[in-house]
Amino acid sequence: MKPELDAFWMPFTASRQFKKAPRLLAKSSGMYYWDDQGRQILDGVAGLWCVNAGHARPKIVKAIQDQAAELDFAPPFNMAHPKAFELADKVAKIAPAGMKKVFFTNSGSEAVETALKMAIAYHRARGEGTRTRLIGRERGYHGVNFGGISVGGMVGNRKMFGSLLTGVDHLRHTHDPARNAFSVGQPEHGAELADDLERMVALHDASTIAAVIVEPIAGSTGVLIPPKGYLQRLREICDKHGILLIFDEVITGFGRTGSPFAATTFGVTPDLMTLAKGITNGCVPMGAVLAKQSIHDVFMNGPEHLIEFPHGYTYSSHPLACAAGLATLETYADESLLTRGSQLQGYFGEQVHSLKGQPNVIDIRNFGLVGAVELTPIAGEPGKRAFNVFLDCYEKGVLLRTTGDTVAISPPLIIERQQIDQIIDTLRGAIQRAA
């Protein structure tokens, strides 16, 4: 190991393997990275599900540079700066109807913590303080803070950290390869899995449940697409029992599904929505919670000189993040990127599903501009086959992402057809070599 690599304890990384053969990215532009040796690498995962407009976009770069020179920091508690209000207004204007309030954080994990606290505090503020229970879903990913891993359902993210939050339960996941393998778009079967929430109500009573949180498309666990009717049924049950519905759109927000948000695509409006990643094109850390006007207004009571919602972060609505966010939204609008996925999803889906029949491919899933290829695990070595495919693709000049034995694809929304072809052809070769 090179001595200069020793100090950095890397996040979510097989550190010993990495430091024996580092993969160092030194430059980026458009659809590409370049490594520290000058080798070009096609970005097939939008950085980490976040660089939706492509890399080093001029408006975003200039906005960050100008903002750093003009106003580097402004305290967010009982103070503010103009761009925070401007960005909140622009996000609210593309949000689903009724979601008019925006609370800024610094990441998706913080956005989730914020939404969970909002949900519990909302019920307390309206006189239902017994509603404290939170319902997540198996295989869900909601960041890595204690609230997020408690409502999350990925065992690898939970098992090392003790008992987590109390008062949390989980719906069953929606992955059903026996009935839905190789579905193109939304699977036909599984809407009835939303009825698990009725089972939770019967067990705990609705008067104890504050909120349900799900990803419209479960990304980090391997791109699980919601069955037809599932999200609609979940909305109906929440309404029936007075339970808030939270959508985690950290990955699906800002164009990934072919419209600004998955809530818009699937025609289901949650009460709260978590955002991050694409809000600044990944250039400056930022997250947000979108809330319905009615939820916000419940907090606006009591003496006006007192804080209504005692929560926030030092870097909430950071000036550089807001400047990046405004330039990102302008770039999306200039190039119609928030709907471009709907134009490319047919071709993208055809190409991803062309991998059916390749060695060890046991399922393929897709929606908008996100796809997944699930592989048969190597006996006794779960995750290794997909990791080998990831390394092979990287050596051949394509960056993808793995979770377990699933290879995920989520390219920047500026991708062209020939670049989709390159990703799929490279992945096909790597799968064959890993057989």
Q: Is residue 274 situated within a structural domain? A: yes
Identify the domain boundary among 311, 334, 357: 334
Q: How far is residue 435's CA from residue 364's CA, in Å, rounded to a whole number? A: 17
Identify the domain boundary among 334, 351, 378: 334
Chain mean pLDDT for the chain: 97
Identify the domain boundary among 303, 334, 365: 334
For residue 1, what pLDDT is reported? 64
Angstrom CA distances, 87 to 7, 37, 71, 103, 369, stand at 37, 38, 16, 11, 25
Q: Is residue 320 situated within a structural domain? A: yes
Do 131 and 266 lie in one domain? The reply is: yes
For residue 2, what pLDDT is reported? 75
Residue 356: domain span: 3-52+337-433
CATH of the domain at 386: 3.90.1150.10
Residue at 71: amino acid letter: L
Q: How many domains does the chain have?
A: 2
Whole-number percent of the chain with pLDDT over 70? 100
Residues whose CB falls within 8 Å of the CB of residue 14, separated by 6 or more in sequence, listed in order: 387
Q: Do residues 402 and 221 touch, judged by C-beta distance below 8 A?
A: no
Q: Is residue 57 situated within a structural domain? A: no
Mean pLDDT of 375-384: 96
For residue 3, what pLDDT is reported? 75
pLDDT in tens, 246-302: 999 999 999 999 999 999 999 999 999 999 999 999 999 999 999 999 999 999 999
DSSP 8-state secondary structure symbol assigned to residue 105: E
pLDDT in tens, 88-129: 999 999 999 999 999 999 999 999 999 999 999 999 999 999
Do 120 and 101 lie in one domain? The reply is: yes
Q: Is residue 326 situated within a structural domain? A: yes
Instruction: Indicate the SS3 state at residue 304.
Output: coil
Q: Is the pTM of this model over 0.95?
A: yes
Do 228 and 365 lie in one domain? The reply is: no
Do 11 and 72 lie in one domain? The reply is: no
Do 321 and 412 lie in one domain? The reply is: no
Whole-number percent of the chain with pLDDT over 90? 99
Burial class of residue 143 (count of CB atoms within 10 Å of its CB; 0-12, 13-18, 19+): buried
Do 69 and 32 lie in one domain? The reply is: no
Residues whose CB falls within 8 Å of the CB of residue 327, separated by 6 or more in sequence, listed in order: 57, 59, 60, 62, 63, 64
Instruction: Tell whether the model's pLDDT for residue 143 goes beyond 90.
Output: yes
Q: Is residue 82 situated within a structural domain? A: yes
Instruction: Tell whether the model's pLDDT for residue 77 goes beyond 80.
Output: yes
Do 351 and 235 lie in one domain? The reply is: no
Q: Find the distance separating the first CA and the last CA of the chain, reported in whole Å.
A: 30
Do 187 and 224 lie in one domain? The reply is: yes
Q: Do residues 279 and 306 touch, judged by C-beta distance below 8 A?
A: no
Do 184 and 257 lie in one domain? The reply is: yes
Closest CA to 223 of 53, 342, 27, 374: 374
Angstrom CA distances, 268 to 96, 224, 290, stand at 9, 17, 14
